[in-house]
Chains A and B, each alone.
Chain A
């Protein structure tokens, strides 16, 4: 684990510090079908855990379990000391695969949804979310409807909406899967910078090994269903400011090849 990711917090941490995640002996079944089997994973407060695996391997289910949207069939999941689904839900904000921006709300109103849900008045919620628009390169687009934004901007607003919720753990489900390669690379660098100024514990599901290795501190490679951990790798240079340099570095390339090899082993 890299040095700046911080300590395990004894108490539910403040959002800025993140909250530790611990998954032990996790098994999840849908009726007869076993989606996840005997999974052990952990992330320290403020750490970014990447999850890669073949499609349909149960990554999204795992994310929903972490976020408290489901209860596991067996095993334990703890987020910031909370182990029940309600407690995890209180600690996690979920960013779905598609941006899910509400088309009838402006960008800033979309970003402010969590504040409004907690009872903040419209003006106060807009002001608070609007401050993040300034900081994250979206100034001037507060009043735009989602349909008026580019794919990359929509993902930024969707991420801000997750961030504004003020939860210590962010569950990101393939956040940039819908974007073209260039925009995706830009968004990865943007997310790296965002997490540098606003650190949280992140569980990032991706089908893109490079994306996971660049953004995460550690990457768990999962097998085809039922999902098991095939390999766990430390990222060579998590969220390095110069993304292009980082992903072409020999250490990164070697890590990517190890991850790919593990992915192939696990898909069989």
Chain B
């Protein structure tokens, strides 16, 4: 099997098979029997697709809100993670002082923290950005710091005898060699960013896909819930793909 076949056709086949199986199990009522619920509570892919179409303007409006939260929050988390990694690389004192805090930033239960952020920052985009940024910050900071520290000591010695100052060592050697790690961290962050946005909206919002899902759940609108969730997945995949594309453009030496 050739590269493109394996890369695109194979996953498409797997996805189609799973969706097909789901369609059969849901439309025959088998899944509803397993869960012991009314059949309308277990929508088939076809029903989800029609919910997606029927509610397109409502979904688009809310998707736009959530997309802004994801992309802006991701950008803030990326910048903060990168900046933090560089600071911790430049100063051993800072690294000892702040590394535990970095770990703690990820151990913070977002579910608990989100409502507090809403109290502090209000119902607007603020708390959502803070939560998405917090979720994205950790993988970027840890991966970038590891990348910066993985530079071969021989390269460092060579650069020092070639009159490089600390900043030049960072800019010419450490940053470029940490780029693949930075991109790995960013890819992980991209996948987690929508989860952060949803938690942020659940804690308090008047729009957004997460907000919609919460309302639809109360009203047993399961097909529309799945439609909203599929948009969240699509956003994560698109962000992931954009980062992979950027990496291929930037990291040309691998």
Q: Which residues of A contact B (CB under 8 A)?
A: 64, 67-69, 89-90, 92-98, 100, 102-104, 113-114, 116-118, 145, 147, 161, 165, 167, 171
Contacts and interface: CB of A to CB of B under 8 A. Distances in A.
A96 B162 contact: no
A97 B152 CA distance: 12
Contacts of A94: 157-158, 160-161
B168 to A, nearest CB: 5
B122 to A, nearest CB: 44
B157 A69 contact: yes
Contacts of A100: 152, 154-155, 158
A92 B152 CA distance: 20
A64 B154 CA distance: 10
- Most A C-beta atoms less than 10 A away, residue of B152, B172, B176, B254: B172
Nearest 7 CB-CB pairings of A with B: A94-B161, A114-B162, A103-B253, A96-B154, A117-B164, A117-B163, A104-B176
B144 to A, nearest CB: 16
9 contacts: A67-B157, A67-B161, A89-B160, A94-B160, A103-B253, A103-B254, A117-B163, A145-B253, A161-B162
B165 A117 contact: yes
Query: Which of A64, A67, A104: most chain B CB closer than 10 A?
Result: A104
Interface residues of B, number: 19
Which interface residue of A64, A100, A167 has the most chain B CB atoms within 10 A? A100
A98 B162 CA distance: 16
B161 A92 contact: yes
B177 to A, nearest CB: 8
Contacts of B80: none
A80 B172 CA distance: 29
A147 B162 contact: no
Contact of B161 (A69, A98, A116): A69
A117 B159 contact: yes
Contacts of A96: 154-155, 157-158
A118 B164 CA distance: 7
B173 A102 contact: yes
B252 interface: yes
A75 B244 CA distance: 54
Nearest to B252: A104
Nearest to B169: A117
Most chain B CB neighbours (cut-off 10 Å) among A93, A113, A118: A113
Contacts of B152: 100
Contacts of A116: 168, 172
Nearest to B254: A103
Given A69-B160, A69-B161, A113 B172 contact: yes
A171 B161 CA distance: 10
